Amino acid sequence: MAHEVHGVGYECTKIGIRMKAVQFLFGGTDLSYKEFPIKLSNMKCKLMVESRKCGENAMVCEENKCEFNGKPEPSYSIWSETREVGYYCKIQPKMIEARNITSRLFNSPCLATDLSCTLGHKIVIWNETVIHKCAYSKMS
């Protein structure tokens, strides 16, 4: 049976990375990283896909998969704490497929007509071209 919804969209991910570095008086150091997901809107995901950028930083792409790893590098200063924030971004193609436009996508409440779906800290976007509705109906 043919699917009424079939095509490719994009999955976008953006994660913030907080770095804290401390150097003690006698040379000891302490370094910690904490990651936090950043919720992307449809427009921000679309901008990432079109520009192939994570903020102002160019992503490295192989075929249609792109990534940027902006994990902050530690810098130390005696008796002071250094804090920096960096970002990790990823975009990759995602198959959009459903039997019809009222079928749920990705085991979520999302429908093909929504043109986007938030899945945890990721978002998937697509356009109307994935919907293949026949203008004709079968007559008995």
Give residue-wise pLDDT tens across range 25-46: 777 777 888 999 999 999 999 9
Closest CA to 121 of 19, 39, 30: 39
The three-state (H, E, C) secondary structure of 23-49, written as one string:
ECCCCCEEEEEEEEECCCCHHHHHHHH
All structural domains of the chain with their residue ranges = 5-130
Q: Determine the average pLDDT of the residues in 9-24.
A: 90
CB atoms within 10 A of CB 105: 21
Tell me: pLDDT of 81 over 80: no
What does the pLDDT read at residue 4? 84
Between 5 and 67, whose confidence is greater?
67
pTM of the full structure: 0.81
- φ, ψ for residue 36, nearest 5 deg: -145, 130
Tokens of 29: 């150091």
Query: What's the confidence (pLDDT) of residue 1?
Result: 46
